[in-house]
Amino acid sequence: AEEALRQAQKMEAIGHLTGGIAHDFNNLLTGIVGGLGLLKTRIAEGRVAEVGRYADAAVASARRAAALTHRLLAFARRQPLDPKPVDVNVLVASMEELVRRTVGPGVRMETVLAGDLWLALCDANQLENALLNLAINARDAMPDGGRLTIRTENTLLDGTYAAQAEIAAGPYVTLSVTDTGTGMPPEVVTRAFDPFFTTKPVGEGTGLGLSQLYGFVKQSGGHARIQSELGQGTTVSIYLPRHHGEATDTPITSLATAADTP
Ligand code: ADP
């Protein structure tokens, strides 16, 4: 759990960093849009001599924006996935104390873990991050308290749903987090996985939590989905492919136990 806490702090730092980058990017876009707007006006006015200046300014801004995204991508690539057989129940248990501290005393927490849970194949650290991000979002959605439910189950995705979700039909280990918070209107559900999409005030939300989760889940060959109802609450479910290895494969080893936390 100490490792998870360190990860959480790192993620917060990354959040600030990327939030800053998003802000810079936005400024550059404003420069491009403004430059192009002026360019259009000058053309309409027949003041063609000034056109080049505005075109140059727009190109320079666009170049800087491209450099920024390259930096972001280079950064993202620095964290390669390390897929291993993971006992998601053990992972949840080891994170329980940290999640409890994250959501605070106003939120009642329950975990419903499947007794016969299959092993999942994914990067355990990334899954820890994903769970923590979901807990943070749940907390933010329940400012007046509520209930947080963490659930694990074995799921057989049938062809119809799998085709809809554009993943393979078959066995998945499902980890879902349910809150009794504000819920999301449909237009927020649609965009929630988009990078930098946030409805939170500047400085509070980076809009990266769910997009990071989505990237990780997709790279793992899994699937993520949001079910939400305004005023009722939200469930975010992560489907991870089942590990079909030998029983002798050691499930995740790097996780500290909840007992480590003060
Ligand atoms: P951030 O939390 O920084 O805004 P996320 O990518 O984690 O970024 O979430 C994007 C948006 O999705 C949030 O700003 C919020 O509007 C919505 N959202 C995410 N989780 C929940 C939730 N549990 N309840 C209500 N809205 C949520």
- pLDDT per position as a tens digit, 54-83: 898 888 888 888 877 776 766 565 567 789
Residue 132: CB within 6 Å of ligand 1? Answer: no
DSSP secondary structure code for residue 254 in this structure? -
Give which of 184, 186, 215 is closest to 199, Cα–Cα: 184
ipTM of model: 0.99
pLDDT at 252: 42
> What's the gap between Cα 42 and its chain centre?
43
- pLDDT by residue (tens digit) across 83-126? 999 999 999 999 999 999 999 999 999 999 999 999 999 999 88
Give residue 4's pLDDT. Answer: 74
**Does residue 16 line the site of ligand 1, with CB under 6 A?**
no
- Yes or no: say if 240 and 220 are a contact pair by the CB < 8 Å rule: yes
Contact 1, 95 (CB under 8 A): yes
Closest alpha carbon to 58 in 71, 72, 42, 44: 42
Mutate to test the pocket of ligand 1, among 16, 18, 129, 137 (most ligand atoms within 8 A of CB): 137
* CA 180 / ligand 1 centre spacing (Å): 14
Task: State the average pLDDT for the chain.
Answer: 85
What distance in angstroms lies between residue 79's CA and the mean position of ligand 1's atoms?
23
- The tokens of 210 are what? 């769910």
Q: Mean pLDDT over residues 162-187, rounded? A: 94
156-165 long-range contacts, CB within 8 A, separation 24+ = 157/223, 157/239, 165/223, 165/225
